[in-house]
Structure 1
Amino acid sequence: MAHGWDWSFVNEETEATLRKLHTNPKVDFSVPIKNGPSTHGFDYSFGFCGSLDMAPYVFVENDIPTMEPTKTTISVDEKGVWRKGPTSDDFVHANILQDLTDRAVSYIEEKSTEKDPFFLYFPLPAPHTPILPTTEFLGKSNTNMYGDFVMQVDDVVRQIREALKKQGISENTLIVFTSDNGCSPKADFEELAKVKHDPPSYVFRGMKADIYEGGHHVPLIVEWPSKGLKNSKTDRTISTVDFFATCAEVSGYNIKDTEAEDSYSMLPLIVGANQDDIREYTVYHSINGSFAIKQGDWKLCLTNGSAGWSYPRPNEIKSQKLDLPEMQLFNLKNDIEETKNLIAENPEKAVELKVALKKIILDGRSTAGGEKQQNEGMEGWKQIESIIN
């Protein structure tokens, strides 16, 4: 949610640093974490480790834990599961979603009294596991606990929007609501099917973690009453990495050649300046590091299965000795469900897309720019090595 550019962050995923906190019994919880939100430009931050099922269970405010852990907690419930780990007294799993929402609302109330605009980034811990709808929402969806938890997320959005309206700033506030991946099997697809819900990912193949559309194709809802289009939609491809360029354009910031190398502004789509494609290529990968590249209606998956959690998974391909093509090529306009691999009929398109992906990797960018950029973390990434070598 943005109303300008004083930066605030709720629920920062300082996962790598915080995981070290619970693996090292001698860690000093009184010292600031490294590589936290302040390192990346946030003026204020309040959050915790990556998700509610990852220890340690402590709040971190402005890079410093608010309390030291005094106990160890664990939940082995199939849906409400969280890993065993140190927990502070002010951290109650079932209350965290509302605790963070209250913080966000308070921040809006505080900043709305100042003349400078502000920016609030609020990544929710829900409906990720542990699935913990509060009593108010239990049974409300007439589906299952996951459905109830999704309704609680809807209510969080209501609270944010109402806070903006109460402060009289909703008309000139840009709100973006989206997800970072497709539905998790923890939603319990079989349960939901019994009440005529098909949540894995709408008509898309696969789910969270997969290379297929079900792993990446998610809704993105925008509200900007004073400037944005109303009651409209677009089928143009965008990516969450496009937020950088979008925010830069809204705020008048000139992106340096060494910044946001894969980010394209979606502002023209939001305000209706045009409905042209904002990006030629979109690159993404599955949970095991396998890549896909999309251009227009065409999508090339550089793997022979889901490379994730749905069939055929890598271990199933191996154990069942499945004879599958090394790559998969789909035309999403004609086959959004990715049921027909067109690699045999269109080998030249597959080659073209693989060459494009190789260039993007070696250039370190997909945007135009004067300089190639140095990638980080490529060493030992076997899927990258098979593309560039």
Structure 2
Amino acid sequence: MRTQLERHGFHLPLILLVTLSLARADARAEATVDRPNIVYILADDLGYGDVHCLNPDSKIATPNLDRLAEQGMTFTDAHSGSSVCTPTRYGILTGRYAWRSRLKKGVLGGYSPPLIEPGRLTVAALLQQQGYQTACVGKWHLGFDWGTSRPLTFSDEIDAKEKMAAVDYTQPIAHGPTSVGFDMYYGISASLDMPPYLYLHDDRSVGVPTTEKTYIRKGPAHADFEAVGVLPTLTAKAVEFIDRCGKQEKVKARPFFLYFPLAAPHTPIVPDDEFRGRSKIGTYGDFVMQVDATVGRVLDALDRNAMTGTTLVIFTSDNGCSPSADFPALAKQGHHPSGPLRGHKADIFEGGHRIPFLARWPGKVPAGSTCHDTICLTDLLATSAAIVGASLPADAGEDSVNILPDLVGSAQTPVREATVHHSIDGSFAIRQGPWKLALCPDSGGWSEPRPGRPEAKGLPPVQLFNLERDLGERRNLQADHPEVVDRLTKLLERYVAEGRSTPGLAQENAGSVRIHGAEKR
């Protein structure tokens, strides 16, 4: 049988091929300062104002996140790809805005089919190709092909008992994390309030639902599954993976990528007994403190395995804080989850998608530093490629920008030309420099003025804000700067038409994309 090189016209002695292969393996044998382990922790519905190092007025103690900031870099202008969770997660792993996929608004459910298209390159697959061990521990929320006993189109409208009857939980689950580049997966299918309520390991359910439980939504559940135990269980599994990598013999050791998407502090807000009452401002504050403690356990695991110096740790959130946290009650305690920002989860306003982003990489990222550059969570793919010296194909990472210059403090100009924002109802905004243009008259989400409500009628069809002067987005300048509205609208139209916002060959979107007049939910 001919080697791959020979099939492409190259004829090298076998000994040379073996030597080259061994050299590549040795080069990737273990994590180094230049080729680090990568730990990516994604909180669920954590607000910009919840983290003390970003908001000194926060009433929630976050000592481990503050420690991460002191030892690394704090980004003040980081954004999720969407103001809700599924599309953000798609963008993190694929480097592509989710509105280019079939998901034009909203989120998936626990039984939804997979969103990541077959053959699409992910961060995990890229790093796996580069010799990394890859693991995902946590909330997936990107869909699976569940094994069923009969044909069934899954949707949230299907009765829970029908779901339980239709899914064969003993069958393998197809097109999940282990199909897109992860060697190992342990977690839950979607949000903590979405059935089925059970754990998944690789491509199998851990047990079979034998009952029903209600965590906001009612659905099939494993008898031993309890929402309050999910964060401790996922934390233990993530730490276990780090410890296992740390115990590998040096000759077998490889750098690793751990994608750790938490299911907290999303609803149901269920801090365990150790943290209940600790924040003094309510259960949401307690749950945030438990999230902070989870980060501490990960950092401690890296320390005891002597991996701190060779690991890039990123902590962020998938969108802003949910109003389910009870903003009025928190405000009475002097705490504001969105900090100085307008709006919250689901919105096109900054509170919907401007999120905490902390990065630590000893020897590379300056300790105690701050970056004010605008970045997006879609940037992980291009950044990972730059770290390992890989090139992305034309049909991958269409909206991913290499932020390595920001991380190491060498950027002389903004790394992104512009950034596109997206709300739960499919409304668009585009940000460039101080200017943000929202192509809707309302919040695009759940705060006032809500889409379709009387208070939104009669408002200008677009909103233009200068965030340098008006971070709270209170003054609409669209009538004063029509030239900025025109310029940013045309830029967004080009991004849509070309199927990408980065240089490269034009690509196709999945279906038409409407940037004006989003379909209201």
TM normalised by structure 2 equals 0.69
Which residue in the other structure is 2:299 paired with? Answer: 161
Deviations 1:47-78 (A, max 9, x none): 11211100011211112111110110114xxx
1:119 correspondence with 2:257 = yes
Q: Which amino acid aligns with 1:253?
A: A
Match for residue 177 of structure 2 among 37, 40, 57: 37
SS of the residue corresponding to residue 241 of structure 2 reads helix
| Equivalent-residue separation in structure 1 for 2:442 and 2:402 (angstroms) | 32
Q: Which amino acid aligns with 2:378?
A: V
| Equivalent-residue separation in structure 2 for 1:257 and 1:15 (angstroms) | 23
SS of the residue corresponding to residue 233 of structure 1 reads strand
Seen in structure 2, the aligned counterparts of structure 1 residues 12 and 149 have a Cα distance that, compared at 3 Å, is: closer
| Pairing 1:141-156 to 2, within 5 Å after superposition | 141-156=279-294
| Equivalent-residue separation in structure 1 for 2:418 and 2:303 (angstroms) | 38
Return the offset for 1:210: 0.5
Which residue in the other structure is 2:327 paired with? Answer: 189
Q: Is the 8 A contact 2:302 2:308 kept in 1?
A: yes
Deviations 1:331-389 (A, max 9, x none): 111111111111111111101111110110010000000x211111x34x554688xxx
Q: Is the 8 A contact 2:440 2:517 kept in 1?
A: no
1:65 correspondence with 2:209 = no
| Equivalent-residue separation in structure 2 for 1:312 and 1:384 (angstroms) | 17
SS of the residue corresponding to residue 359 of structure 1 reads helix
Deviations 1:172-213 (A, max 9, x none): 1110000111111111111111111122x1111111100011
Match for residue 10 of structure 1 among 137, 141, 147: 137
| Equivalent-residue separation in structure 1 for 2:503 and 2:371 (angstroms) | 24
1:99 correspondence with 2:236 = no
Q: Which amino acid aligns with 2:301?
A: A
| Equivalent-residue separation in structure 2 for 1:11 and 1:345 (angstroms) | 47
Return the offset for 1:226: 2.6
Seen in structure 2, the aligned counterparts of structure 1 residues 339 and 155 have a Cα distance that, compared at 3 Å, is: same
Which residue in the other structure is 2:45 paired with? Answer: none
Deviations 1:291-336 (A, max 9, x none): 00011111110000101111100132xx347311100111111111
| Equivalent-residue separation in structure 1 for 2:264 and 2:493 (angstroms) | 36
Which residue in the other structure is 1:78 paired with? Answer: none
Match for residue 327 of structure 1 among 459, 462, 482: 462
Return the offset for 1:16: 3.5
SS of the residue corresponding to residue 213 of structure 2 reads strand
Q: Is the 8 A contact 1:328 1:342 kept in 2?
A: yes
Q: Which amino acid aligns with 2:227?
A: H
Which residue in the other structure is 1:27 paired with? Answer: 167
SS of the residue corresponding to residue 157 of structure 1 reads helix
SS of the residue corresponding to residue 164 of structure 1 reads helix
Q: Is the 8 A contact 2:449 2:456 kept in 1?
A: no
1:235 correspondence with 2:372 = yes
Q: Is the 8 A contact 1:12 1:45 kept in 2?
A: no
| Equivalent-residue separation in structure 1 for 2:138 and 2:318 (angstroms) | 14
| Equivalent-residue separation in structure 1 for 2:353 and 2:213 (angstroms) | 33
Which residue in the other structure is 1:256 paired with? Answer: 393
| Equivalent-residue separation in structure 2 for 1:101 and 1:321 (angstroms) | 43
| Equivalent-residue separation in structure 2 for 1:72 and 1:275 (angstroms) | 56
Match for residue 314 of structure 1 among 451, 455, 468: 451
Which residue in the other structure is 2:309 paired with? Answer: 171
Match for residue 219 of structure 2 among 55, 75, 85: 85
Return the offset for 1:89: 2.9
Which residue in the other structure is 2:150 paired with? Answer: none
Q: Which amino acid aligns with 2:180?
A: H
Match for residue 419 of structure 2 among 254, 273, 282: 282
CA RMSD of aligned residues (A): 1.9
Seen in structure 2, the aligned counterparts of structure 1 residues 150 and 142 have a Cα distance that, compared at 3 Å, is: same
| Equivalent-residue separation in structure 2 for 1:54 and 1:10 (angstroms) | 17
Tell me, which stretches of 5 or more residues in structure 1 are unaligned?
Answer: 76-81
| Equivalent-residue separation in structure 2 for 1:228 and 1:385 (angstroms) | 42
Larger relative contact order (C-alpha < 8 A, sep ≥ 6)? Answer: 2
Q: Which amino acid aligns with 2:192?
A: L
Q: Is the 8 A contact 1:58 1:88 kept in 2?
A: yes
SS of the residue corresponding to residue 265 of structure 2 reads coil
Tell me, which stretches of 5 or more residues in structure 2 are unaligned?
Answer: 1-36, 40-126, 147-153
Match for residue 497 of structure 2 among 329, 353, 362: 362
Match for residue 218 of structure 1 among 328, 334, 355: 355
SS of the residue corresponding to residue 294 of structure 1 reads strand
| Equivalent-residue separation in structure 2 for 1:85 and 1:58 (angstroms) | 10
SS of the residue corresponding to residue 175 of structure 1 reads strand
Q: Is the 8 A contact 2:141 2:191 kept in 1?
A: no
Q: Is the 8 A contact 1:12 1:37 kept in 2?
A: no
| Percent identity of equivalent pairs | 43
1:204 correspondence with 2:335 = no
TM normalised by structure 1 equals 0.92
| Equivalent-residue separation in structure 2 for 1:162 and 1:7 (angstroms) | 20
Seen in structure 2, the aligned counterparts of structure 1 residues 7 and 108 have a Cα distance that, compared at 3 Å, is: same
Deviations 1:239-262 (A, max 9, x none): 000011111111222111111010
Q: Is the 8 A contact 1:67 1:89 kept in 2?
A: no
Return the offset for 1:124: 0.5
Q: Is the 8 A contact 2:439 2:516 kept in 1?
A: no
Deviations 1:101-137 (A, max 9, x none): 0000000000123321101000110000110001111
Q: Which amino acid aligns with 1:218?
A: I
